[in-house]
Amino acid sequence: MILFRLIGLLLITVALMALGADAMRSLEAGHVQIRSLAEVWSVVNLSSYDSFTAWSSAHVPGTILPMVMGYPAWAVLGVIGIVVAGILRLARRS
């Protein structure tokens, strides 16, 4: 339980950091600039991103994955972190 709570908090923290980075990037540019999850992942570790996209194109049907990878990084990470934290809260009540 503690491990999942830490993972949820870590994802929420990274999402807030990505939101702050996008805000600073937008202020510097003078217009809104938001990085997608694919951009952030490729900057962090390009080889794992390439491996994941190759695996997903072979095993995941449809266009849902490219759509999700195009969403803002802070939104995807924040939603996953909130869901993990929410599931833990529900499990704790039971």
pLDDT of residue 76: 96
Which tokens hold the place of 64?
A: 């849902």
Closest Cα to residue 43, out of 65, 66, 21, 16?
21
Specify the pLDDT at position 31.
Answer: 96
Tokens of 5: 């709570």
Q: Which residues contact 50 (CB under 8 A, 6 or more apart)?
A: none
Q: Is the pLDDT of residue 5 over 70?
A: yes
Task: Specify which residues 36 forms β-bridges with.
Answer: 72
- Is it the case that residue 28 has pLDDT exceeding 80? yes
Q: What pLDDT does residue 94 have?
A: 67
Query: Which has the higher per-residue pLDDT, 5 or 29?
Result: 29
